[in-house]
Every structure is written in C-alpha cells, then in structure tokens.
C-alpha cells in the first residue's frame, strides 16, 4: 500500500467558547521537518503536537497552522488592575515633576506592558485534549489524501517496472545474432591483422570463448529480473512507509541496466537498454513522492 508524501487536511471544532481550526499540509522531504503556526495558549503543548505529527505522518515537510478564535460574549482578555494602578501613580509623579498635563492617561495605561493580557497563558489540560482531537482529525484527513494520491503512484510504478521486464524479454531473441556478430567481427579483425592462413582454429575458439564469457550478461539479466520481482513484492506489502526501500531497489535495478548497456555490443540491445533507462528515471521521479 503506497502513500504519497503530499497531502492536505483541515478540521475544526468548538472548544469551550473557542473556535479551533486546524490546517495541516505535507510536501516531499527526506526527513520529518515541521513548521508550526500556533497561538500563544498552545505554545506549551508544541512538543506534544510535534511528537503527534511525527508518529502519524512519519516523513515529509509538514506545515501546521492552528487558529483559536474567541466566540460570543466571552472575555478572552483580562486587565491587571494592580499593575495599572502602579503605572498610574508613576505617571502622576512624572507629570507633576515635569508640569505636564494629565490627559488621556487611561489610553496610555492600556498600552503599558502586561496591563491587558490574555485571560489564560496556557490552555487547560481538559481543553487541550479536545484541541488535540481536532489536530488528530486533520491529520487523518491528510493521510487519506496521501493514500488516494498513493493509488495513482502505485499504478504508474507498476507500469514502469512491467515495461522494464517486457524490454528485458526482447533481448533474448537478439542474443544469437549478437554472438554471431561478435564472432564475425573478431574473425575479420584477425584476418586483417595476420591473414586468414595464419589463424589457428583451436586458438581462435579459445579466444572466442574467453571474449564471449567477458561479454556475457546472463547474470545481469537474472539479477535485473529478480530486482523487478522484489520491487513488485515490496510495493504490494501493507507497510505504509516504503519510499526509501523502493528507492534502494531502483538503484540496484539501475546498476544491472547500466552493466547490460556496457556489455551489449549490439545496436538493437543498446536501444532496448536506453528505453529501460527511460522507464527507470520515470520510476525514480515517482518514488521521490512516496512516503
């Protein structure tokens, strides 16, 4: 089962006279990275939020925004009367010493530090549990989005690997012709170098066998087929996070394809290898999107 790394989730709820809106989106990333935009009353729970998303979303660049708005006639702010009186007395003394007018004192007091402050610096535990539920709901929706995108990625990747396997089967009919071409090329080269009458048939066969053994790519074909099967087995497992493993398998597939190309010595086989590489690159691009 494949999950994409990109997705979006949004959830909202009413918690003790507050409207809580949570939006979370994820983009591709090698590790778990998180950007949060939280109101002050949730800063205390930032580590809990980070751990929650890390355990659920696992990988990617995560952008979380939590908005908390006060509703109705609730009083989200409180006035520190004692501090306001202290500031007022100080202002009065300064005004008297400098012979300044005592106008708009109240407006000045309301702007003094910590005179007007949020009613709560930290959200109570019971309310936090309700907010946490909203974050979990948004995260679940994001994972559903990831799952839906993962279905499209699954179909495309299976198609790419099947194309590589199909191309591999097209090499077999060309191998006999490839051997004959190599034999003819070696024969012509030796004749040009030393003359036909000077070629030792037994020695020529020995050299031919040695050369063909070096150019043989039957092991590469076998390993390539095995890697393709392993890729298909892995992609069909129920694991959620398989992106890294699939990437490693594609690296091994690429090594075998490159070796096939290096040993091909045949124009048509080289063309098949080029098409394999094209399918492989498309698969690699898609795997980068997988969780």
Taking the model in full, what pTM does it have?
Answer: 0.72
The pLDDT score that the predictor gives to residue 114 is: 66
Phi, psi angles (nearest 5°) of residue 19: -95, 120
pLDDT in tens, 105-122: 777 777 777 666 655 567
pLDDT higher than threshold 70 for residue 155:
yes
The pLDDT score that the predictor gives to residue 203 is: 65
Q: Which residues contact 195 (CB under 8 A, 6 or more apart)?
A: none
E-only strand ranges, the chain:
7-15, 18-27, 32-37, 60-70, 77-79, 116-118
pLDDT higher than threshold 80 for residue 49:
yes
Least confident of 81-95, 120-134, 146-160, 272-286: 81-95
| Percentage of the residues of the chain whose pLDDT score is greater than 70 | 84
pLDDT higher than threshold 60 for residue 74:
no
The pLDDT score that the predictor gives to residue 11 is: 95
Q: Which residues contact 21 (CB under 8 A, 6 or more apart)?
A: 10, 11, 12, 66, 67, 69
* Nearest to 66, CA basis, from 146, 131, 144: 131
Select the more confidently predicted residue: 256 or 97: 256
Segment 26-47 shows an average pLDDT of: 90
Select the more confidently predicted residue: 200 or 123: 123
pLDDT higher than threshold 80 for residue 196:
no
Q: Provide the 10 A C-beta neighbour count for residue 44.
A: 13
Select the more confidently predicted residue: 32 or 240: 32
Identify the three-state secondary structure at position 86.
helix
Task: Report the distance separating Cα 283 and Cα 271, nearest Å.
Answer: 19
Task: Report the distance separating Cα 272 and Cα 118, nearest Å.
Answer: 69
pLDDT higher than threshold 60 for residue 282:
yes
Task: Report the CATH fold assignment for 7-74+123-145.
Answer: Ribosomal Protein S5; domain 2 (3.30.230)
pLDDT higher than threshold 70 for residue 75:
no
What is the 8-class DSSP label of residue 123? -
Domain ranges in the chain are: 7-74+123-145, 77-118, 150-287
Average pLDDT, the chain: 84
* Nearest to 219, CA basis, from 251, 255, 170, 179: 255
CB-count burial class (<10 Å; 0-12, 13-18, 19+) for 279: buried
């Amino acid at each position: 089962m494949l999950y994409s790394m990109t997705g979006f989730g949004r959830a909202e709820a009413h918690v003790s006279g507050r409207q809580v809106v949570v939006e979370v989106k994820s983009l591709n990333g090698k590790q778990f990275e998180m950007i949060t935009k939280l109101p002050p009353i949730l800063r205390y729970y930032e580590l809990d939020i980070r751990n929650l998303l890390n355990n659920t979303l696992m990988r990617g660049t995560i952008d979380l925004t939590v908005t908390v708005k006060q509703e109705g006639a609730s009083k989200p702010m409180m006035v520190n009367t004692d501090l306001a009186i202290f500031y007022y007395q100080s202002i009065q003394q300064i005004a008297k010493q400098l012979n300044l007018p005592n106008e708009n004192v109240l407006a000045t007091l309301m702007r003094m530090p910590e005179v007007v402050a949020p009613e709560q610096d930290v959200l109570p535990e019971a309310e936090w549990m309700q907010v946490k539920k909203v974050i979990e709901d948004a995260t679940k929706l994001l994972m559903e989005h990831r799952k839906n995108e993962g279905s499209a990625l699954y179909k495309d990747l299976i198609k790419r690997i099947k194309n590589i396997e199909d191309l591999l089967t097209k090499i077999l009919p060309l191998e006999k012709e490839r051997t004959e071409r190599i034999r003819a090329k070696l024969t012509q080269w030796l004749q040009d170098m030393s003359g036909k009458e000077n070629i030792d048939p037994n020695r020529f066969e020995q050299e031919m066998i040695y050369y063909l053994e070096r150019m043989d790519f039957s092991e590469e074909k076998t390993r390539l087929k095995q890697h393709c099967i392993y890729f298909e087995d892995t992609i069909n497992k129920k694991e959620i996070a398989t992106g890294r493993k699939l990437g490693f398998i594609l690296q091994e597939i690429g090594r075998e394809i490159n070796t096939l190309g290096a040993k091909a010595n045949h124009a048509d086989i080289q063309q098949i290898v080029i098409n394999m590489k094209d399918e492989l690159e498309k698969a690699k691009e898609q795997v980068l999107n997988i969780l």
